Amino acid sequence: MEVNGKVAVVTGAASGMGFAMAETFAGAGMKIVLADIEEAALERAVEQLTGAGHDAIGVRTDVSRLSEIEALADATIKQFGGVHVLCNNAGVGVGAPVGGTSIADWKWTLDIDLWGPIYGVEIFLPLIEEQGEGHINSTASMAGLYAGASLGAYNVAKHGVVALMASLERDLRWRESKVRASVLCPGPINTNIVDSERNRDPEDAARHVASAQGQKFWEFLTRTLASGMDPSEVGPMVLDAIVEEKFWVLTHPEMGEIVTGQNRAMLDDQRLTR
């Protein structure tokens, strides 16, 4: 797909991988709609792009609300007249074991990490198909391919995103659509997802149930991400998937051995790997 002059919408675009995508797309000649729940950070991100001569706007968006995804689509059409690319990137995380995760934590995680992409696909797909071609990418995780301990709600959401995008891609092929789909499964990236509760409603956040297991894992994850890949490296990977019509976007292909080992064990002795 040729992207120069096309319109891209990116959620979670004020920082991290989302901003990296927006900046990369803008550098390729695309018009950008940045969506994020953090207004101040969103304004700074838009100013950074427009200050560099790119055509970009920001729309404050809570992806867990269908009405705000609809408003995002309306703002995009009003500004640019159409949309060709959607990147469902906004996401949060909670460190807690299954059985030790509050219902509020389950709901918060699934509303943003899974329902956000579902809403995005449902609202934007018809608009993208009107253009004759386009692409929808959603950010999952290696946790969408391998469900480790202490991330139950996140694992469920990200496995759902992988299934959503694989189903979408096969449905699009079945009806011979020129719109393509892809899924981003990043490994350790130096983003601020470990601080995602900063955007959570305080009353809802108070329902979080802390556990020793979850806290220990979160400390480990914080250290791991701090030394992870720079988000700026991810934007070109997603752009390549859009241009070359690839489905899988893996930032750390070497981590695929974890998935391979799990599948091998499933077939060999039906036991779950650690």
List the catalytic residues.
Answer: 154
Q: How far apart are CA 100 and CA 152, in angstroms?
A: 9
Residues contacting residue 96 through CB under 8 Å, at least 6 positions apart: 102, 105, 150, 151, 152, 153, 209, 210, 211, 213, 214
Crossing angle of helices 16-27 and 39-51, in 10° steps, is 20
* Secondary structure class of 165 (helix, strand, coil): helix
Crossing angle of helices 103-113 and 115-129, in 10° steps, is 20
Q: Are strands 7-11 and 31-36 parallel, antiparallel or unpaired?
A: parallel
Structure-block tokens of residue 29: 């000649």
Q: How far apart are CA 233 and CA 69, in angstroms?
A: 27
Residue carrying the six token digits 């305080």: 202
Residue carrying the six token digits 């659509």: 177
Q: How far apart are CA 270 and CA 233, in angstroms?
A: 37
- CB contact burial 76-92 (16+ within 10 A = b; e otherwise): beeebeebbbbbbbbbb
Structure-block tokens of residue 271: 């036991």
